[in-house]
Structure formats: C-alpha cells, structure tokens
Amino acid sequence: MSAVLDTRTYTTEEYLALDRASPVKSEFHDGHIYAMVGASRAHNLVSVNITRELSLQLKGRPCETYANDMRVKGVGANAYHYPDIAVVCGKPQLEDAQGDTLLNPTVLIEILSASTEAYDRGDKFAGYRKLPSLREYILVAQHSPRIERYERRGETWILTEVEGLESSIAIESIGCTLALFEVYDKVPIGKGDK
C-alpha cells in the first residue's frame, strides 16, 4: 500500500467522486485514500502476459478479464481496491451505472512488488476473502518465476505454490492454466525493478 494522501477521513461517496475525477488511481480503506504507485517494466510485462493468456483461454466463454483499471469493492468492508487482474465468470455485478466497480470477482491476481507485497498478503487479502464470489487469489512474483494460488474450499483457503519456468498452475475455478514460461515471457528474471 502506498502512502495516505492526507489524514482527513473520507466517505465512500467522496472517495468515488475524487477517484473518478482524478487521472491518478487511488485505493480506499477505512476512510483513508491511498495513492497508487507506478508499476515497473517487469510488473507490466507480467500483467500483460497473464491478461493475454487468460483472455485467450476464456474466449467464447461467459467470463471477462480486467487488467489494472477495474475497481473491486469489498463486501461489508469500507474498502475499494484495484487488483492487477480480475476475472469474473457469469454476469458481472457492478456497483452503479458508472460500471467501474466490480462486486463479484471470481479470481483476483496481484503482482508482488517490494512496496505492496506485505499489504497484498495481509490486509488486502483479508478484505478479498470476505467476497463470497471469490474462488481464487493469486500472487505472482515479479522477478522470479513463482506463483502462489490460494483456493477457497468452504471457509478454508488452500495454498498451492509453483516455481520455475517449466512449471504451470491451474486456475480451477475458471478452467484455465498459466504456464510460467508464458507468464514470464520477456521478463528480466532476477534483475530487480528495472
């Protein structure tokens, strides 16, 4: 999570009005607005590669893939987030006529960076787990071929981890598979944020 923009407490309505009017995205948690940080080259490549692979595999099926700009609202939480990638299967439920806030994601994917990893694993995941529609939460390393998949089984979340370019991981809730050599195509492995 990035730094809070100011110490004032905002309502969700104020946050949405500000976020929709701003050229810079921000997330919202418990009345505070947090500026989104820019993404590295590796982050962008991984995001585009995953979006491409999922979009191709979901073509012709009743699922939609969103990259970067689809806001997700937590159920019963005072929070709005921008996951790196969101997938919804079935009819998307949107918060309002603006059509920019998804309420029922099936899969959420975050690409880890030094500035967001603790939040993506902690408070953000805790908020995402409250979404009844969410079946899988996926964390993708930026600079080494490693993916962690958390799958909901009842009230329990089961972790599956894969590592190495020869590996692949199934995203069972949407019937897709990510081959790590495709996810990390053109990504400078082990090079840091360059």
| Position 58 confidence tier, pLDDT thresholds 50, 70, 90 | very high
- Here the tokens at position 126 are 């805790």
- The residue written with tokens 């099926």 in the block is 61
Q: Which residues contact residue 126 at a Cβ distance below 8 angstroms, ignoring those fewer than 6 apart?
A: none
The mean predicted confidence, pLDDT, of the chain is: 91
Where exactly are the structural domains of the chain? 39-183
Is residue 33 within 8 A of residue 11, CB to CB? The reply is no
Report pLDDT digits (tens) over 87-119: 999 999 999 999 999 999 999 999 999 888 998
Mean pLDDT of 117-138: 93
Report pLDDT digits (tens) over 153-166: 998 999 999 999 99
Higher pLDDT, 76 or 31: 31
SS3 string of 165-185?
A: CCCEEEEHHHCEEEEHHHHCC
Q: Which of 44-48, 86-90, 174-178, 189-193 has the lowest mean pLDDT?
A: 189-193
> For residues 34 and 14, what is the distance between their CA atoms, to the nearest angstrom?
14
Neighbours of 144 (CB within 10 A): 13
What's the CATH architecture for 39-183?
Alpha-Beta Complex (3.90)
Q: Of the segments 26-30, 57-61, 117-121, which one has the largest average pLDDT value?
A: 57-61
| Residue ranges in 34-135 assigned as alpha helix (H) | 41-58, 117-121, 123-128
Neighbours of 129 (CB within 10 A): 15
